[in-house]
Structures are given as structure tokens and as C-alpha cells.
Amino acid sequence: IQNIGLVLFVGSVGFIAGPNFFKDLKKNFKTYILLGVIIILSGTAVAVICTLLTEYGPEFWSGVLSGALTSTPGYSAALDAATENIARITLGHAIAYPFGVIGVVLFVQLLPKFLKADMDKGIYTEETALELLEDFFLSFNKDSDIAS
């Protein structure tokens, strides 16, 4: 059941981002990669420093790292790699995950205001959205091996 939920979540995010994903990625590729590397390295550095300065242990801080980055694969990898104190990984993840989600939501809501971005510029009409969805699904049918 856990895997089905994850597949549905990733699939729904893909449908939302799909029509413009590659166009935006091509336009902002370097920025996205740099931002991703900075976020992951800074989070990892904080987790390592906290591991060295506190007595909670690396298991707890690996859970905090995966939770703060809202990384379910990171959480799963930490669980697989741990040989002891597995409950600490879950505790750290459970504590940090809500803050990671809230941070992303606040970032997405506040960044356009700070940058004074025109959010109405990116809104599609219902007709345009339906055309994009139709093109998206037709592209799968066109590229499939199933004869029509």
C-alpha cells in the first residue's frame, strides 16, 4: 500500500508539472541544479555538525535530514543502512517532515511576492488546460507499441 500511495503521489505531481516541465527545465537547468546541490549540501552539513555536537547519534540526524528535505527515498535508504537505533531515524524524520512541507509551501507562496512576479501570466484558461492534457495523453498513444 505504501508503494501505491507513492506512485499515485508522484504520478499526480507529474501530471501537474508535465506540460511545461521540459520547457522550464531547459530554460532554467543550471539554476535548478545549483539550487538542488546547495540545498542538499547545506542540509547534509547541518546534519553532520549536529551529529558531532549532540548525543542524539547519526541515525536521528539522518532521519531529520530526510524529513526536512521531505525525501522518502532518503528515509528508506537510512532505514536500510541502519543496523541499530532504527526508531531514531523514524523519530527524526517524523519531527522534521512537517517543517519541511511547511517550508516548501511558504517558499512557494512568498517567493513570488518577494520577486514581484506576475502570477496571472502563468494561468491557463480551462480550454488551454484541456488542450494540453489532450496533447499530453495523445503523445503517449502515438509513441506506444499498441496498434490502433
3-29 pLDDT per residue, tens: 787 788 777 777 777 767 777 777 888
* pTM reported for the whole predicted model: 0.64
Of 47-51, 87-91, 109-113, 135-139, which range is least confident? Answer: 135-139
Give 71-102 pLDDT, tens digit per residue. Answer: 988 999 999 999 888 999 999 999 999 999 99
Query: What would the 3-class secondary structure string for the chain be?
Result: CHHHHHHHHHHHHHHHHHHHHHHHHHHHHHHHHHHHHHHHHHHHHHHHHHHHHCCCHHHHHHHHHHHHCCCHHHHHHHHHHCCCCHHHHHHHHHHHHHHHHHHHHHHHHHHHHHHCCCHHHHCCCHHHHHHHHHHHHHHHHHHCCCCC
pLDDT higher than threshold 70 for residue 52: yes
